[in-house]
Amino acid sequence: MIQVAAAPAIRVQRLTKSYQELDVLRGVDFEVPRGSIFALLGSNGAGKTTIVRILATLLKADAGGAEVNGFEVATRAAEVRASISLTGQFAAVDEILTGRENLILIARLRHLKDPGLIADGLLKRFALVEAGGRRVATYSGGMRRRLDIAMSLIGDPPVIFLDEPTTGLDPQARLEVWQAVRELAAGGTTVLLTTQYLDEAEQLADRIAILHEGRIIVNGTLAELKALLPPATVEYVEKQPTLEDVFLAIVGADGSAVDGSSRSESKGL
């Protein structure tokens, strides 16, 4: 295949982790090529967050290896942290600060020049210019998520972890987040995404791995995964709009980009 010199952005080998009696990870293996979107799909409690926390140096594995951007997580934590950004399951933003102050805070902590300029650029990119001066406590769930992801982009880390980025979001906010993730990957960032939504993995990921009871049971492209199923049969069905289509058609009329992108997506399918 196309095994070029560049090592994979993420390499996980025989990773195990238990909490007391509970074996959360029982030997997980996978690799994520640079610049791709990799989705870890699994139900609640499958161990997705545990993998992300180990890769983000927040948790130590019991055994096995994990490398991010060529650095072993257990021994080169500082280099790993310089290579990644983590967007956790709950938007980790400071509610008392404004959106702009949140961005400046992260830029300062990454020791970048011109934190104000970086903040303004990201506010524009994530359509938060007007909200930028308001306290985050007044933001909607979607705005928080966008700010959260914007904060993760500061310093252009080569690898980004998104742990269930759309859980608890309404359909519109979900599409906004998807758009942000696509732009990230288009810019060459490697994205490891965890999700419990099948369509999210289908929409975004170059490769999908299904984590079940602490093991990866399937790993491949969407086409490869589909090939595992019984061959498709051709049926003629009248295509009714889904409730999501209806919802977005009615609510998305506020002239936001969401409406346009959702339409092009449904055409693409």
Instruction: Report residue 97 as tokens.
Output: 């600060």
Judged by CB, which is closer to another protein: 193, or 210? 193
Count residues near another protein (CB under 8 A).
31
Nearer to another protein among residue 93 and residue 208 (C-beta) = 93
**Tokens read off for 216:** 């990866």
Q: Does 57 bind another protein (CB under 8 A)?
A: yes
Q: Please state the closest distance from residue 142 (CB atom) to another protein, in A.
A: 17
Q: Which residues contact 60 (CB under 8 A, 6 or more apart)?
A: 54, 74
- For the bound state, the minimum distance from the C-beta of residue 58 to another protein, rounded and expressed in Å, comes to 6
Closer to another protein by Cβ: residue 98 or 203 = 98
State the Cα–Cα distance between residues 188 and 86, nearest whole angstrom. Answer: 17
Of 52, 56, 32, 33, which is closest to residue 42 (Cα–Cα)?
A: 52
* Closer residue to another protein, CB minimum distance, 101 or 183: 101
Is 23 strand, coil or helix?
strand
Region of 11-19, 28-36, 54-62, 215-223 interacting with another protein (CB under 8 A): 54-62
Q: Which member of 18, 89, 219, 261 binds another protein (CB under 8 A)?
A: 89
Mention every residue, 6+ apart, whose C-beta is less than 8 A from residue 212: 42, 43, 46
List the one residue from 6, 43, 45, 90 that touches another protein (CB under 8 A): 90
Per-residue contact flags (x/-) with another protein for residues 92 to 131, judged by CB under 8 A:
xxxxxx---x---xx-xxxx--------------------
From 56, 210, 211, 216, residue interacting with another protein (rule: CB under 8 A): 56
Going by their DSSP bridges, the two strands 215-220 and 207-212 should be labelled as: antiparallel
Element (DSSP H or E) covering residue 101: helix 99-109
From the list 1, 2, 22, 78, which residue makes contact with another protein (rule: CB under 8 A)? 78
What is the side-by-side order of every strand in the sheet holding 22-32?
Answer: 22-32, 10-19, 63-68, 71-72
Which amino acid appears at position 203 of this protein?
Q
Q: Rank residues 76 and 263 by Cβ distance to another protein and give the closer one.
A: 76
- In this structure, the number of other CB atoms found within 10 A of the CB of residue 10 comes to 24
Contacting residues toward another protein, per CB under 8 A: 53, 56-60, 78, 81-82, 84-86, 88-97, 101, 105-106, 108-111, 135, 151
